[in-house]
Amino acid sequence: MVSLDEVARTAGVSSATVSRALSGRGHVSPATRDRVLEAAEQLGYVVSSAASSLASGRSRSIGVMTPDLHRWFFNSVLTGISDTLTRAGFDLTLYNVTSDPQLRHEIFRAFLQRRRVDGVIVLALELDDWEAEQLKQLDLPVIVLGGALQDLPSMSVNDQGLIRLAAEHLLSLGHRNIGYIGGDQAFDADYHVPTQRREGFSEALRDFGVEPHVQLSRAADFTIAGGYQVAKQLFGSPAAAMTGLVAASDEMAIGALLAAKDLGVQVPHQVSVVGVDGHELGELFGLTTVDQHPVGQGRTAAEHILGRVEGRGNGDVELPFELVVRSTSAAPSQAVDGSP
């Protein structure tokens, strides 16, 4: 291990100057800087993160707390975060918050307190009071992505707008009997998003003078399998002449498409299906969706937290989303109207 002192000796300057030359803090003459950089390069010097952290109080690492890595949305956001942090020379410390309460507790108690990180990005987790308190006590830049949280700063796509866009797409195509697959109460306890989305859906319908049918609404766990299961119920029961279906995630929408296929329900001829997220599989299934660019969200969140770590203030950001019309949505075959 080459130390800073060796570099200093080689370059013929003091260790303080080497530190300044390499970190860019303080004044160093161009000539000296070049000499230092050359010496460092030649010796293969790499700063010791522990020593640097201890002395400076900065670790050049960001903690990311994420739920279920299997979920495409989360691993997409994580990809975006990772990309941006790596480019900025920051490490990413991953805290995979599982449902195991003991592990979860441990993460909040010990891990975060270790001050290994300069900032924390929390992904779409619903935190209880104690957990939020721990986070606040860190006195570090924290940002919650996907779901406003108590009084922690958050960055969130407009979830109501997102689902509203999906619903309005179907409504403007002429659909009136529109089913909905969202999350349930238990699920909402862990993730923030579901409630917002359900409300956005209902409001969009009411704006069009349509009262959402309770019997056309189902709860699932945001996965393909979950969507498949409840979609089967929805398609199976002739409760109403449902011509459109909005799913609060693309995974559930894909599950619904699979269910439709299995039941012989024609999409979009009999039922139009719209999802939300922008899942990579959407293209394969021709799924109409509202893309919320999760990788971009990750990048944005990372940039934001880096900005705050480095002392730049950082205004609020609107996270963009857009309707992507593919082949699972079309006007209903015959005019069907929900109102009597």
Partner DNA sequence: ATGGCTTATGCAAGCGCTTCCATGTAGGGT
Partner DNA sequence: ACCCTACATGGAAGCGCTTGCATAAGCCAT
Residues contributing to the site for DNA (CB under 7 A): 1-5, 12-17, 19-20, 22-23, 25-33, 45, 47-48, 51-52, 54-58
Side-chain-side CA neighbours of 152 within 13 Å: the count stands at: 34
**Least gap, CB of 179 to a second copy (angstroms):** 20
- The answer to whether residues 175 and 239 touch, using CB atoms and an 8 Å cutoff, is no
Single out the segment in contact with a second copy by CB under 8 A; choices: 16-24, 68-76, 173-181, 322-330.
Answer: 68-76
What is the length of the chain?
A: 340
Nearer to DNA, 33 or 71 (CB): 33
Given 53, 150, 270, 314, the residue binding a second copy (CB under 8 A): 53
**In this complex, which beta carbon is closest to a second copy, that of residue 15 or of residue 75?**
75
Type of residue numbered 292: Q
Q: Note whether 103 binds a second copy by CB under 8 A.
A: yes
- Work out whether 292 is an interface residue with a second copy (CB under 8 A): no
Contacts of 132 (CB under 8 A, 6+ apart): 149, 150, 152
Decide if residue 75 touches a second copy (CB under 8 A).
yes
Residue 31 binds a second copy, judged by CB under 8 A: no
Residue 227 C-beta: closest distance to DNA, Å: 48
CA dist 2 and 68 (Å) reads: 40
Assess 261 for contact with a second copy (CB under 8 A): yes
| Residue 284 contact among a second copy, DNA, none, beta carbon within 5 to 8 Å by kind | a second copy
Looking at beta carbons only, is 107 or 122 nearer to a second copy? Answer: 107
Q: Does 79 bind a second copy (CB under 8 A)?
A: yes
Amino acid at 289: T
Interface of this chain with a second copy, residues 200 to 219, rule: CB under 8 A: none
Residue 94 contact, options DNA, a second copy, none, Cβ 5-8 Å cut-off depending on partner type: a second copy
- Return residues touching a second copy (CB under 8 A): 1, 44, 46-51, 53-54, 59, 61, 69-70, 72, 75-76, 78-79, 82-83, 86-87, 89, 91-96, 98, 103, 106-107, 110-111, 113-116, 224-225, 228, 255, 258, 261, 280-281, 283-284
